[in-house]
Amino acid sequence: MTASLPLAAQTPAVRRTPQRRRYLMCRPDYFTVSYRINPWMEPENPTDTAKAVAQWQTLYDTYIALGHEVELIDPVPGLPDMVYTANGGFIIDGRALGVRFRVPERRGEERPFMDWFAAHGFEVIEPISVQEGEGDFLLVGDTILAGTGFRSVGDSHRELAEVFGREVVSLRLVDPRFYHLDTAISVLDPSTGSGTETSSGTGAAGNIAYLPSAFDEASRRELESRFPDAILVSDDDGAVFGLNSASDGYNVFISPRATGFEAQLRERGYNPVLIDLSELLLGGGGIKCCTLELRGKS
């Protein structure tokens, strides 16, 4: 972990302000790789559960140290991927849309997440279409970016727009290594979920970073048009899950191996906080995968 720079040390023209976030996480007590549902998973190679827990604990402790609130959902034996809580739902203004996983290995997670949301005061909407929550849905200002191509189906994007009453922009992923949208796009200025300005003062547009090669041509054009000032991340940084990151508007939690992205963030006035989740990457997940944002009613 890198120490946070004081706000006074930032570039005077770009003052980023951290926002207190509320996250849902799950300890990887049962983490292992016993099946293959993405190119990162190799069941023949052993995993170290204790190491995964220790790395996860560092991420948890870092969020707490920087003033964020972290809720925990109990891990369930036999569901090793519950640690990737971002795939468990999508929440705006106290409404929680549950998930329907494409792969049978993860369908046992659906009900525990929806039950947790209901028990903690969220209005739960049972999903109709196949989609994998915040893995493929990212809130940027007032707009929801929605991925498809490998996991979430196109029909889920229409359902998403109906449930939340927001514009949904469909983006197609084309590289199987980046099978969820949150592996190819990082939202740098998190929205409050109520249409208020982002921490950088950019309003609904927000700031993002993304990996151009992960998308088809039409999606690249859409991103270029909507986010002309986005950080374009290199293939090398994308390949180490550099974009699978979380941000509070100032601190951006990223892989220490994404050195180019780290430099780009510093140039834009963000403070990269380096967290090594290399053991959890063996399951195809990183920092954002382990972090589901709980957006309450505004």
- Is the pLDDT at 279 greater than 50? The verdict is yes
The reported pLDDT for the residue numbered 195 is 35
Pairing state between β 143-148 and 137-140:
antiparallel
The reported pLDDT for the residue numbered 15 is 85
At 13, is the pLDDT very low, low, confident or very high (cuts 50, 70, 90)? Answer: low
- Is the pLDDT at 109 greater than 50? The verdict is yes
68 catalytic per annotation:
no
CA dihedral defined by 196, 220, 96, 157, rounded to 10 degrees?
Answer: 120
The reported pLDDT for the residue numbered 3 is 43
Expressed in angstroms, the distance from the first to the final Cα of the chain is 32
Catalytic member of 26, 157, 180, 290:
180
Backbone angles phi, psi at 183, to 5 degrees: -90, -10
Does the domain made of 17-293 have the CATH classification 3.30.70.920?
no
The reported pLDDT for the residue numbered 191 is 74
Pairing state between β 231-232 and 208-210:
parallel
3-state secondary structure 93-126: CCEEECCECCCHHHHHHHHHHHHHHHHCCCEEEC
- Residues 265 and 201: beta-carbon distance below 8 Å: no
At 190, is the pLDDT very low, low, confident or very high (cuts 50, 70, 90)? Answer: confident
- Is the pLDDT at 198 greater than 50? The verdict is no
Q: How far apart are alpha carbons 271 and 7 in whole angstroms?
A: 9
- Residues 113 and 89: beta-carbon distance below 8 Å: yes
pLDDT digit string, tens, across residues 149-189: 999 999 999 999 999 999 999 999 999 999 999 999 999 99
Give SS3 for 23. strand
Pairing state between β 292-293 and 22-25:
antiparallel
Q: How far apart are alpha carbons 78 and 252 in whole angstroms?
A: 32
Backbone angles phi, psi at 13, to 5 degrees: -75, -15
Q: How far apart are alpha carbons 105 and 78 in whole angstroms?
A: 10
The reported pLDDT for the residue numbered 12 is 42
At 297, is the pLDDT very low, low, confident or very high (cuts 50, 70, 90)? Answer: confident
DSSP H helices, the chain, are: 49-65, 110-119, 155-164, 217-226, 235-239, 259-267, 278-281
At 269, is the pLDDT very low, low, confident or very high (cuts 50, 70, 90)? Answer: very high
The reported pLDDT for the residue numbered 298 is 59
180 catalytic per annotation:
yes
Lowest mean pLDDT, pick from 16-25, 153-162, 198-207: 198-207
pLDDT digit string, tens, across residues 119-145: 999 999 999 999 999 999 999 999 999
At 14, is the pLDDT very low, low, confident or very high (cuts 50, 70, 90)? Answer: confident
Catalytic member of 26, 68, 157, 289:
289
Domain edges within the chain: 17-293
